[in-house]
């Protein structure tokens, strides 16, 4: 079965973690150590490379550009100025363009691109030589230095923007640092510019107040690329049911994250994230059954299977070490279908969740 991954920060893995993602996954996992690699994310834990995506039937992904401005209280690294953050974000965009020039990926700019790409994957008996489709998104809007600059990012191929990525951003309060405020004044103007363009708003990582305020201002298409359910796993990083219902009513697809921090039922203090999740639970404690619980919860809230999907946060969530026990690589995302079938989901429902919901959403909202 084909899969569309609703969240893959591929450029982060390539640039920040210095991985050659065009290589087979065993080569990446066993590569000679890099002097520039992040020590907290060893290569041995890599879940995805382009060949491994092909092997797993992952036809396309929402590929993120993820760069932040460093701010006091943030648990994540960033850059000291917006100008530098924006320049680095352009470097991540350049990486995706180089992959496209090498025919490793195909950037999907519009609905026709998506249709042609998915047709080629659905009719092929061998995916090993096909490019992987990428829809480009900004995870956190810090690289947009002023609201009107979003037009430049649109012209460069970006189709999805989220306002924050952990903590306070240029435009709003986000999750993951104990902050609970809403939008900043510039966000209203940015959202109106996005509306005018047809840009898609990703509400993932925004605080509850920021999401509620955004939905009042923004009338365009909304998605949640990697967002789990607070009713099942306590903590501010997950959405409460009223927000899930609000975005579903707007036609959103909600991608469920493979990050076990977001599947751990007792929840964690997102303002003080433990250094090592294994101090709280062994890898075997969280399984694909826990992951499918969140898919099922969205389906129950929606009353159908048309709004839940996979949003892996693939390798952005910590890699294999931080994924459910059955996941070794992204090829194991296929196992989600088996768990759904065991829960009584029909073949049509399973296809919706594995890829058709994302395909339908982007076919509707990418420019024609």
Report the alpha-carbon angle 260-10-205, nearest 5. 50
What burial class does residue 125 get, using C-beta atoms within 10 Å of its C-beta: 0-12 exposed, 13-18 middle, 19+ buried? exposed
Q: What is the pLDDT of residue 72?
A: 74
What burial class does residue 121 get, using C-beta atoms within 10 Å of its C-beta: 0-12 exposed, 13-18 middle, 19+ buried? buried
Spatial distance between the Cα atoms of 52 and 212, rounded to a whole number of angstroms: 38
Q: How many CB atoms lie within 10 A of CB 161?
A: 25
10-residue mean pLDDT profile of the chain (368 residues): values are 98 97 98 74 96 98 97 80 97 98 98 98 97 98 98 98 93 81 96 98 96 98 98 95 98 98 93 88 97 98 98 97 98 98 98 98 97
SS (H, E, C) the chain: CCEEEEEECHHHHHHHCCCCCCCCHHHHHCCCCCCCCCCCCCHHHCCCCHHHHHHCCEEEEEEEECCCECCCCCCCCCECCHHHHHHHHHHHHHHHHHHHHCCCEEECCCHHHHHHHHHHHHHCCCCCCCCEEEEEEECCCCCCCCHHHHHHHHHCCEEEEECCCCCCCCCECECCCCCCCCECHHHHHHHHHHHHHCCEEECCCECHHHHHHHHHHCCCCEEECCCCECCCCCCCCCECHHHHHHHHHCCCCEEECCCHHHCCCCCCCCCCCCCCHHHCCCHHHCCHHHHHHHHHHHHHHHCCCCCEEECCCCCCCCCHHHCCCCCCCHHHHHHHHHHHHHCCCCHHHHHHHHHHHHHHHHHHHCCC
Q: What is the pLDDT of residue 36?
A: 63
What burial class does residue 57 get, using C-beta atoms within 10 Å of its C-beta: 0-12 exposed, 13-18 middle, 19+ buried? middle
Evaluate whether 158 touches 137 at the Cβ level (below 8 Å).
yes
Evaluate whether 331 touches 357 at the Cβ level (below 8 Å).
no
Residue 223: phi and psi, rounded to 5, are -140, 170
Q: What is the pLDDT of residue 73?
A: 65
Q: What is the pLDDT of residue 175?
A: 86
**Helix, strand or coil, per DSSP, at residue 160:** strand
CA quadruple 72, 74, 80, 86: dihedral sign? negative
Spatial distance between the Cα atoms of 243 and 212, rounded to a whole number of angstroms: 7
Closest by CA position to 351, among listed 309, 314, 311: 309
Spatial distance between the Cα atoms of 164 and 162, rounded to a whole number of angstroms: 6
Spatial distance between the Cα atoms of 281 and 278, rounded to a whole number of angstroms: 5
Evaluate whether 237 touches 271 at the Cβ level (below 8 Å).
no
Q: What is the pLDDT of residue 89?
A: 98
Evaluate whether 305 touches 345 at the Cβ level (below 8 Å).
yes
Spatial distance between the Cα atoms of 329 and 187, rounded to a whole number of angstroms: 37
Spatial distance between the Cα atoms of 73 and 272, rounded to a whole number of angstroms: 10
Cα–Cα distances (Å) from 220 to 163, 168, 250, in that order, read: 15, 23, 9
**Token couple for 226:** 């990697």
């Amino acid at each position: 079965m084909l899969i569309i991954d609703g969240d893959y920060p591929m450029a982060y893995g390539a640039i920040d973690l210095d991985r050659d993602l065009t290589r087979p996954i065993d080569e990446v996992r066993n590569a000679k150590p890099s002097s520039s690699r992040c020590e907290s994310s060893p290569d041995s834990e890599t879940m995805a490379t382009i060949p491994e995506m092909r092997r797993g039937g992952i036809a396309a992904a929402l590929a993120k550009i993820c760069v932040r401005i460093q701010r006091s209280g943030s648990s994540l690294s960033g850059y000291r100025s917006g100008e530098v953050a924006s320049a680095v974000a352009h470097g991540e965009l350049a990486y995706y363009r180089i992959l496209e020039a090498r025919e490793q990926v195909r950037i999907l700019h519009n609905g026709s691109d998506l249709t042609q790409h998915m047709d080629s994957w659905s009719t092929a008996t061998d995916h090993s030589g096909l490019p992987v489709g990428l829809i480009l998104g900004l995870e956190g809007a810090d690289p947009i230095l002023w609201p009107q600059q979003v037009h430049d990012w649109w012209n460069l191929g970006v189709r999805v923007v989220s306002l924050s990525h952990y903590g306070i951003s240029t435009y709003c309060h986000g999750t993951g640092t104990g902050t609970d405020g809403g939008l900043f004044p510039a966000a209203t103007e940015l959202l109106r510019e996005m509306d005018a363009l047809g840009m898609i708003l990703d509400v993932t990582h925004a605080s509850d107040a920021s999401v509620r305020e955004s939905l009042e201002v923004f009338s365009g298409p909304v998605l949640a690329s990697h967002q789990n359910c607070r009713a099942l796993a306590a903590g501010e990083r997950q959405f409460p049911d009223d927000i899930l219902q609000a975005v579903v009513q707007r036609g959103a697809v909600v991608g469920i994250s493979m990050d076990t921090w977001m599947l751990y039922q007792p929840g964690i203090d997102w303002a003080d994230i433990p250094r090592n999740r294994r101090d709280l639970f062994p890898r075997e404690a969280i399984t694909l059954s826990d992951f499918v619980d969140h898919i099922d919860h969205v389906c129950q809230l929606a009353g159908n299977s048309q709004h839940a999907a996979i949003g892996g946060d693939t390798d952005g969530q910590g890699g294999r070490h931080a994924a459910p026990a059955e996941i070794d690589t992204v090829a194991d995302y296929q196992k989600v279908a088996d768990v759904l079938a065991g829960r009584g989901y029909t073949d049509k429902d399973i296809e919706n969740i594995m890829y058709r919901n994302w395909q339908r959403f982007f076919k509707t909202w990418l420019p024609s």
